[in-house]
Structure 1
Amino acid sequence: MDLGSLGVDGMRAAAGALSGSADSYQNEEEVELHWAIKAYHHAETYYNLISSVDNRKLKLSKHDDEIYEQFRKDFPDFDVKVLSEEELKSGDAKTKWRPFCNHFDGQVEDFNFGTLLRLDCTQDYSEKNSIFVTRIQFFAIEIARNREGYNLCNWNKKPEIQEETTETKKSETKEETTETKDKDVTS
């Protein structure tokens, strides 16, 4: 955005608005709805991705190696299979997570952007199985789940993928049966 296009009056108005207390601002429903839709689309895209490929080698960002190393250094015994809200949102948890998250400020784009995370890695996103976390927490936990093989249970789990796989297997079996019959006839 070119700030020069705002003009002097526009810049003064923006400066005045920005110098006010953040407490005086309220989220508008439209902004919240837009953010929720964006978070949902991100979650849907991610789940479709992990359920269609071997996710053990999946790269989520150009910083995956550093995120994973730092996560396992700071949280060596953190069980990523099934999470609880307490492990991510309690006062003690926030105290532990804050230095980890801030380590990636300036490195990982939108590191503190709100993102949906599945609590149980064997399940899809749902109201009961989702929690809002920062993007860097999402990256840390999902990179660990992928590298440690916990997300493999989701590979080929989506119904469309299962149907495609079943149809491919049926087609291959039918071709093999036809080839076998042809061999029997020519023998």
Structure 2
Amino acid sequence: MATPTMRLGLRAFRQPQLLRQPIRSTQRRTVQTAAGTIEAPVVQESALTKFYNSPIGPKTVHFWAPIMKWGVVLAGASDFLRPASQLSITQNMALMATGAIWTRWCFVIKPRNLFLASVNFLLFSVGAAQTARVLSYQRSLKGETMGEEIKDELKREAGLVEEVVKNPQSVIDAVKGK
């Protein structure tokens, strides 16, 4: 007759916790107590196993989100090679706002993810630098100060938002290509 440890069969697949146990090497160590000497198991994990099983390891979204977000940071940084006249101020302001909001959020969520916070901070930095480049370029064309340029840009954006709110069908038609 088979022992319970030999009879894994398909039951192993019905119990996913058996498959997700970390690989550990156990040793015994002796501990002195008032009642006498006892042997206690010592769990030793390698650094790679600790990282793999951590709450921000590669088995979680907390690891893969920053990896994927580096693509956005690198795309924004590649725009440093383009002239400021070809950059979109709204796109770079969106990068700046996204980076600032999500950097703050990375310190609020549990587990706190400093890797994701660093990526978002760099996203904010790239967006801020590109926005400053565009505003500086536009200011040099008009001969205005930076404050006047920002006010003009915000008025233009507010006008676009008002137009969308008043006539949302025009946006749908524009997307459909009518």
Larger Rg: 2
Greater RCO (CA < 8 Å, at least 6 residues apart): 1
Determine if the TM-score, normalized by the shorter chain, exceeds 0.5: no
Superposition TM-score tier, normalisation by shorter sequence: under 0.3
* TM-score normalised by structure 2 residue count: 0.26
